[in-house]
């Protein structure tokens, strides 16, 4: 079995707001799958439906090729929004409660294993209320992996953390993924998604705009940074060449986009034929943020 999750025509409305419109996505085993979108795009609604917290108006979803049965959630660990634990209990006692709810066996062994995994074993006797936000997030992930699920579903796992906390959570997620786990992350922190995810779905106003591997999204077109002694004449020249598209003008050059198969030498020749000679030409590495903004603004 390679397909972990698929959705078909998922719809959800709140009064006059269409939170989801015919959502169709597919997640394969071993992927780190990012669900991206601005606030109100439908990310949290999607996760809520997939975890049985929210009922869709139409459509369906399929976990492990076993439909949407409640029993599927036994093999899914989840972190939705803010971690919730008993503030006056320590890490071990909070996880004991989780283990009892899930009817797990070998509780002490499991708890030690997950607390060591999230680097909280030395703080196992510390009350939850004394934890930093990053420690609280790590305890929540420990709770999510306590039953050794095949899939982790994480909603904004690095939200509100300082740079060190973000790096710790990112490293933890990547290490868990190396075990062959499938991870689904909803986030608006594009830099972190770019560092973690293998596949991405972009939502806007409840609709799926695009879905694919991170590399596919980043390589939709080639971006070059060019310059000449007279930038204005260069801009006028670009406007006359149909195979070159202006992206934007910056202080240290002009960003253009061309077909992926068009070489830098061909770009140089096209511009030289117009009587403009470049003094700078380099491939410009697109990041997920620029790609994301281009896609949702189309």
Judge whether residue 286 has pLDDT over 70.
no
Place of tokens 């209990």: 89
- Summarised one tens digit per residue, pLDDT across range 199-239 is 999 898 899 988 988 877 766 567 788 999 999 999 999 99
**Percentage with pLDDT > 90 across the chain:** 61
**Spatial distance between the Cα atoms of 157 and 185, rounded to a whole number of angstroms:** 8
Q: Name the pLDDT band for 9 (thresholds 50, 70, 90).
A: very high
Judge whether residue 81 has pLDDT over 60.
yes
Per residue, the 3-state secondary structure of the chain, as one string, reads CCEEEEEEEEEEEECCEEEEEEECCEEECCCEEEEECCCCCCHHHHHHHHCCCCCCCEEEEEECCCCCCHHHHHHEEEECCCCCCCCCCEHHHHHHHHHHHCCCCCHHHHHHHHHHHCCCHHHCCCEHHHCCHHHHHHHHHHHHCCCCCCEEEEECCCCCCCHHHHHHHHHHHHHHHCCCCEEEEEECCHHHHHHHCCEEEEEECCEEEEEEEHHHHHCCCEEEEEEECCHHHHHHHHHHCCCCEEEEEECCEEEEEECCCCCHHHHHHHHHCCCCCEEEEEECCCCHHHHHHHHHHC
Place of tokens 């995810």: 197
Predicted pLDDT of residue 110: 96
| Domains identified in the chain and CATH numbers | 3-217 (3.40.50.300), 219-297 (3.30.70.250)
pTM equals 0.78
Q: What angle do CA 229, 234, 237 make, to 5 degrees?
A: 150
- Summarised one tens digit per residue, pLDDT across range 121-162 is 999 999 999 999 899 999 999 999 999 999 999 998 888 888
- Summarised one tens digit per residue, pLDDT across range 30-47 is 999 999 888 888 998 999
**Spatial distance between the Cα atoms of 78 and 186, rounded to a whole number of angstroms:** 12
Mean pLDDT over 274-288 rounds to: 82
Predicted pLDDT of residue 210: 87
Predicted pLDDT of residue 245: 86
CA pseudo-torsion sign 191, 84, 46, 17: negative
Mean pLDDT over 84-104 rounds to: 95
Predicted pLDDT of residue 250: 84
Predicted pLDDT of residue 235: 92
- Summarised one tens digit per residue, pLDDT across range 12-28 is 999 888 899 999 999 99
Which residues fall within 8 angstroms of residue 100, CB to CB, at 6 or more apart? 107
């Amino acid at each position: 079995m390679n397909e972990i999750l698929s959705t078909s025509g998922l719809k959800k409305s709140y009064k006059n707001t269409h939170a989801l419109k015919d959502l169709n996505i597919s997640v394969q085993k071993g992927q780190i799958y990012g669900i991206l979108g601005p606030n109100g795009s439908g990310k949290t609604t999607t996760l809520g439906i997939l975890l049985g917290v929210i009922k869709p108006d139409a459509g369906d979803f399929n976990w492990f090729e076993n439909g949407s049965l409640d029993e599927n959630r036994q093999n899914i660990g989840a972190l939705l929004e803010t971690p919730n634990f008993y503030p006056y209990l320590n890490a071990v006692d909070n996880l004991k409660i989780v283990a009892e709810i899930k009817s797990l066996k070998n509780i002490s062994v499991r708890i030690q294993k997950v607390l060591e995994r999230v680097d909280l074993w030395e703080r196992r006797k510390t009350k939850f209320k004394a934890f930093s936000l990053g420690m609280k997030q790590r305890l929540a992930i420990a709770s999510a992996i306590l039953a050794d699920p095949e899939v982790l579903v994480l909603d904004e796992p690095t939200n509100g953390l300082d740079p060190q906390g973000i790096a710790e959570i990112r490293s933890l997620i990547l290490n868990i993924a190396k075990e062959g786990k499938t991870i689904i992350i909803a986030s608006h922190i594009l830099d972190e998604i770019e560092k973690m995810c293998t596949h991405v779905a972009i939502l806007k106003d409840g609709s799926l705009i695009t879905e694919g591997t991170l590399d596919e999204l980043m390589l939709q077109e080639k971006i070059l940074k060019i310059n000449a002694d007279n930038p204005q004449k260069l801009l006028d020249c670009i406007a006359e060449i149909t195979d070159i598209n202006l992206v934007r003008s910056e202080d240290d050059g002009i960003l253009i986009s061309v077909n992926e198969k068009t070489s830098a030498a061909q770009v140089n020749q096209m511009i030289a034929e117009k009587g403009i000679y470049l003094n700078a030409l380099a491939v410009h590495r697109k990041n997920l943020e620029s790609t994301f903004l281009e896609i949702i603004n189309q």
